[in-house]
Amino acid sequence: MAHRADRIQSIGIARPLKLTPVFPKKWTAQASEVFDLLRRNKAALSEADIAALFKDPDQIRPHIRDILLSLDSLGCVETVDDGRGYIHAGP
């Protein structure tokens, strides 16, 4: 078998599939997910940026917009770039 080692072609290893997470169904879980993303990220994120991280971004974008507006009205996030981006507003 050792003499065949030089004849074996390299086998390409398939990259693992990157599964896109599904946006949570419950509103409280959705708000928690969006808030955690903003808290962990140093740069401002728009609703499109957040939606792109999940499966079916066009479907969930209105939900993310509502959550961002709610978090903004509670003072948990701040808007930047004339309201196009959001950042975490706390320590």
**pTM score of the predicted model:** 0.76
What are the structural domain ranges in the chain?
25-88
Give the model's pLDDT for residue 8. Answer: 53
pLDDT tens digits, one per residue of 5-51: 555 555 555 566 678 899 999 999 999 999 999 999 989 999 999 99
Higher pLDDT, 8 or 53: 53
Q: Which fold has domain 25-88?
A: Arc Repressor Mutant, subunit A (1.10.10)
Average per-residue pLDDT for the chain: 85
* 15 C-beta neighbours (distance < 10 Å), count: 6
Give the chain's radius of gyration (CA, Å).
Answer: 21
